[in-house]
Amino acid sequence: YHIGALMYDALAVHQALGAPDDAVLIGHDWGAFTACAIAAYPASPFAEHISMAVPPVGAINKTRGAIGRQLKMMPRQLRNSWYIL
């Protein structure tokens, strides 16, 4: 899986279905990464983008300074997120 390929697929489905201008993209897990990427895409045809089970990249970047706390959490988080690595 590559985010660019998943973005392309979501955009192609939107176009193939002739989705209206008020279409909403909802992504969960891998789809959440895709929804966040499409939300950052200036030409996104979706009116809204919803990401579930994955925080937006901006929220992740805000925690970068807390490296000690993150290192303690990392083994547990890796165990919980094995399926997306």
pLDDT in tens, 7-56: 999 999 999 999 999 999 999 988 998 999 999 999 999 999 999 988 77
Six token digits for residue 13: 């489905």
Strand partners, 50: 26
* 81 has pLDDT over 70: yes
Q: Helices 3-16 and 30-40, interaxial angle, to 10°?
A: 80
Q: What is the DSSP letter of 42?
A: T
Q: What average pLDDT does range 67-82 have in this prediction?
A: 72
What residue spans define the domains of the chain?
A: 1-54, 57-85
Span 52-71, average pLDDT: 68
Q: Partners of 49 in the beta sheet?
A: 25
User: What is the pTM assigned to this prediction?
Assistant: 0.68
- Tracing tokens 């890796």 back to the chain, one arrives at 78
Give which of 42, 40, 37, 47 is closest to 14, Cα–Cα.
Answer: 47
